[in-house]
Amino acid sequence: MATMQLVRTEGKVFVRDPVGLFFGLVFPALLVIALGFFFPGFDEPASELNGLRYVDVYSNVAIALGIATLGLVTLPPILGQYRQFGILRRLRTTPVSPARLLLAQLVVHAVVAVLSAILAVTAAVVLFDVTVPEQPLWFLVSFVLAVASVFAIGLLVGARVRSPNAGVGFGMGIYFPLLFMAGLWVPRSVMPDGLLTVSNLTPLGSGVQALEDSWFGTGPEAMHLVIMLVWAVAIGFLAVRLFRWE
C-alpha cells in the first residue's frame, strides 16, 4: 500500500521534470530518427558492421543511452537531493523505511527505461524497416541485465553524494566513458581489439553486444550476460552497504 503510493508519487514528481523526461524517455528514439534521416548511408548494409546497417547497430546504442541517462544522470541527483533535504531522515521517523523510497525510485526509473526502449525500438522498426527483435526473450534478458548493472552504478553514486550537484558531477563522470564503451561514438565492430576487450568488460559494452546479438542474431554470448550480472550484483551490494541515510 505505502510502496504503491510511493511509486505513484515519485512517478508524478519525476514526470514533472521536463529535462529528465526528455533525455530519459524521448531522446533515444529521437537519436535513432535523427541519425536515420540525416546521415548518408545510415540505412545501407555496411561491411565494417558485418552486413548490418548503421541504423540497426545504433538502435541498440540508443537503448543503452536511455538506460545510462536514467541510471547515471537523473537517479544520482535525486538521491543526493533526498539526502540534502533530509527526506530520507524524515522517513526514518515514520513506519516506512527509507529503503522503500529508493525502491520506488528504482521502479520509476526502470519503468521509464522500458518505455524509452519501446519508443526507440518502435522508431527503428516503423521508420527504418529494422526487423523486430529475433530473440525477444534474450532481448528482454539482456535489457534487464543492462538496466540492473547501470542502475547499480547510479545507486552507488547516489548512496554517497550529499547534494544534487555532486550527484550530477559524479554521474556524468561515469556516463560519458560508459557511453563511449557502448559504441556511441565508435561502433563496437570497428573498435580495435584492445579497446573492444575493455568495452566488453563494461556494463554497456557487453549490454549493447547482448542486445544486438538478440535483436539480429541467435542470442547473446554467455560472457556478455555474466559481465553485466557481476556488475549488477557486486556494485549493487556495495551500494547497499555504503548507503548513507543521513
Partner 1 sequence: MPVIEVDQLVKTYGGTNVVDGISFAVDEGEIFGIVGPNGAGKTTTVESVEGLRRPDGGTIRVLGLDPQRDRYELTQRLGAQLQESRFQDRIRVREALELYASFYAEPADWRELIGRLGLEGKADAKYADLSGGQKQRLSVALALIGSPEIAILDELTTGLDPAARRSTWETIEEIRAGGVTVVLVTHFMEEAERLCDRIMVVNRGQVVALDTPAGLVAQIGSEQRLTFRPSEPLADSVLTSLPEVTDVQHKGQHLVVTGTGNVVHAVTSVLAGHGVIAEELRVDQRTLEDAYLELTNGDETEMEDR
Residue recorded with cell 534487464: 144
Q: How far is the CB of 153 from partner 1 (least distance, A)?
A: 23
Q: Is 19 in the site for partner 1 (CB under 8 A)?
A: no
- Report 95-134 residues binding partner 1 (CB under 8 A): 95-96
Query: Quick one: which of 39, 50, 51, 92 contacts partner 1 (CB under 8 A)?
Result: 92
How many residues belong to the site for partner 1 (CB under 8 A)? 20
- Report 61-90 residues binding partner 1 (CB under 8 A): 81, 85-87, 89-90
Q: Is 17 in the site for partner 1 (CB under 8 A)?
A: yes
Nearer to partner 1, 85 or 237 (CB): 85
Nearer to partner 1, 94 or 218 (CB): 94
Q: Is 46 in the site for partner 1 (CB under 8 A)?
A: no
Q: Is 94 in the site for partner 1 (CB under 8 A)?
A: yes
How far apart are alpha carbons 68 and 23 in whole angstroms?
10
Q: Is 12 in the site for partner 1 (CB under 8 A)?
A: yes
Q: Is 162 in the site for partner 1 (CB under 8 A)?
A: no
> Which residues contact partner 1 by CB under 8 A?
1-2, 5-6, 9, 12-13, 16-17, 81, 85-87, 89-90, 92-96
